[in-house]
Chain A
Amino acid sequence: MSLSHPDLWSVVNKQFKYKWMSYKSVFQGLMIAQIIAMVFSLFGVASSSMGFGFIDLNIQYITGDFVFFFTCLWAFFISVALDRNENRLADQIFVTNSWSRHLANVVFIVIANMIGTITVVTASFFVKMIHIWIFGIDGFIFFGEYTLPGMLIFFIITFFYLILFSSLGYLIGSIMRQGKLIKFGVVLFVGGPLIFTDNSYLIPLFQFFGDESSVIWFILKILLTSMLAIGLTTLVSRRLEVQ
């Protein structure tokens, strides 16, 4: 019987299709996260009240910020779980090696995040629409101006933030799978401070990405960080046996 000599990219392509068939819950998770976020958003992200003598002005900001934030969490957690043991076992039944697996995972993350981005943008509008349906137009509504370049930037920024959260999740997931003790350490030293401190140490990190005024630099920073995270992941999980 003659041997087949598969090339890496054809296997990556097949593995991506396989993952697309087998990770349906990822998109159910996205729907649930965004529905919860939309419910929160309906009550307004922020509001301010002002009084001018006999006039009271109450301004409520309806935005998709909650949806964005929840989708970032979704991107992070699906990526933590993407390369988990069960999934590696399921990969291993068919044709795979660690390169093709990581590459297929990256392709999956990119496509899933594209879908995530589209739904973040549409959900942001949806929230505003629902707000009008429920509460009616009983006041003045000021819409932000939506221009095509502005929307494009909204798409790009959202997408690359999701990529950033995903790649960090992918790295953290792979580190956690190195052993029970390491998993405990990650939870203790990463999860602990996030919950029990004011997280002021994260400010420079957010500033590094968030204060970037050039879109090109922003994209480059995120791409470099993500590539670094995924590179580290392949290194960390290099000798991992599936058991």
Chain B
Amino acid sequence: MDPVSRRLLKELNDYQREAHNHPEIIELTPADDEDLTHWRATIAGLDQTPFQGGLWNLDVKIPHNYPMQPPTVKFITQICHPNVHFKTGEICLDLLKTAWSPAWTLKSTILAISLLLSNPEPSSPLNCDAANLLRCGDLVGYESMIRMYTQLFAMKMTEEDQ
């Protein structure tokens, strides 16, 4: 078994042992048994946030020189968030680019994305409309827009999300 697969298997075992500590991660698993370099994840919106009640699927691609290079993660389920591209699901998070370190794991990466939901960074937006509402201080408008799109896209799983 190659070194990358060995590390990923270890991450899988570690995550499964501690999954109960991370209720915000609904699922984190290889997409199929034969290919450990492609995973899928599902995260839940936290209570007391406008994302509450939503479930988002993420696609996780692991490069051949992982963990020297970060995984590529994007949203499959559509989401309205200042740091996520509304159409492509691309995520703007320094951890996934310049701030990556091999000390991170897939689990901690997915947890960081889950935290990004309720801690947006409007100064580096991929969704300018959502970011602008925050930047001009319209929290009511921002939260009601998030709630609307959460209900629209993330409250029931469609077949293509699976």
Chain A partners chain B: no
